[in-house]
Amino acid sequence: MSSSKEGTEYPKVAPPPSQFPEGQWSTGICNCFDDPSNCLLTCFCPCITFGRIAEILDRGNTSCGIQGLIYYAMSHIGCGWLYGGIYRSKLRGLLSLPETPCADWLVHCCCCVCSLCQEYRELKNHGADPSLGWQANVEKWSREGLSPPFVASGMDR
């Protein structure tokens, strides 16, 4: 059995095969209206969407609220694009996604709303619901007999 940071056990069962080709984004950068409610939330308060994404990528080590506040502060000093780019790179690494349409930091610099929406959709399409938070996702995966969708085999302890 593998465990999360708080000792919660979840089985070493692979998630169901994804309907999306491996190594490709499941949606495009401009498909924001594929999830209209998240698109609107991200337009008016990108720090919430970022916080939700970051909590999942950090496996619950930092809360959504803290990550959202950091992103808010970084955005106000003109560095939100850099912080967002770091987490986009982290997501790409976990899901083996290409750096498209351009460098991660540049995607966030040019359109943080589009990039955050795409990252949020990507997590959802791979079986993680960022709106639930890390712990609720772990509990959901345990109930369904799944492990986190972005844990590569051989990487768990």
| Residue at 30 is within a domain | no
The string of pLDDT tens digits covering residues 113-141 is 999 999 999 999 988 999 999 999 999 98
| Residue at 119 is within a domain | yes
| Residue at 79 is within a domain | yes
Instruction: Report pLDDT for 3.
Output: 44
Letter for the amino acid at 115?
S
The string of pLDDT tens digits covering residues 68-117 is 999 999 999 999 999 999 999 999 999 889 998 889 999 999 999 999 99
**Dihedral class, residue 23 (left if φ above 0, else alpha if ψ from -120 to 50, else beta):** left
| Residue at 153 is within a domain | no
Q: How far is CA 105 from CA 31, 36, 153, in A?
A: 19, 24, 29
| Parent domain of 69 | 35-144
| Residue at 2 is within a domain | no
| Residue at 21 is within a domain | no
| Residue at 24 is within a domain | no
DSSP state of 17: P
Across the chain, the runs of DSSP E, i.e. the strands, are 2-3, 9-10
Q: How far is CA 129 from CA 40, 73, 103, 126, 154, in A?
A: 17, 25, 25, 9, 24
Instruction: Report pLDDT for 20.
Output: 58
Across 63-144, the runs of DSSP E, i.e. the strands, are none
Tokens 């399409």 belong to which residue?
125
